Amino acid sequence: MIVETGETVPVPNPLGYITYGKDGRMLVLIVRHPRPRPEAIDKITDQQRADLFRTMIAYGGTYKFDGTTVEHNIDIAWNEIWVGTKQVRTVTRDGDRMTLTTPPFPFHTDGKISVNMLVWERVK
């Protein structure tokens, strides 16, 4: 959601997994669709590599949960700029659904102050 206008900008066809371990570690992978599908690993172009990079998020690290917020302390990421950062999310749960909401931040594509809401559903 863009904070200034209240406009919601949905991400088409996202797919992802988030895992929280009892050992205090977490891992997330999110991909958007459509994604390029190169002909073969030895024929992938630099543009396809860049497009694949732009259509994913992946990171892991330790986490702390206090009942209303989760804090991800990133030690590995698809983008090195995230390594060493702390990502804080507000958490709400409804049955098997968990929503993680970011604090307002400048969106990476246009700099507009935005809030992301990621809705996760338990895999059974």
Total structural domains in the chain?
1
**Mean of the per-residue pLDDT values for the chain?**
92
How far apart are the C-alpha atoms of 22 and 62, rounded to whole Å?
Answer: 11
Residue 21, in any domain of the structure:
yes
Per-residue pLDDT tens digits for 31-48:
988 888 999 999 999 999
Per-residue pLDDT tens digits for 51-97:
999 889 999 999 999 999 999 999 999 999 999 999 999 999 999 99
How far apart are the C-alpha atoms of 34 and 13, rounded to whole Å?
Answer: 8
Residue 90, in any domain of the structure:
yes
Residue 10, in any domain of the structure:
no
* Highest averaged pLDDT of the listed ranges 5-9, 78-82, 110-114: 78-82
Range of the domain at 43: 15-95
How far apart are the C-alpha atoms of 7 and 56, rounded to whole Å?
Answer: 23
| pLDDT given at position 107 | 79
- Give the predicted TM-score (pTM) of the model: 0.84
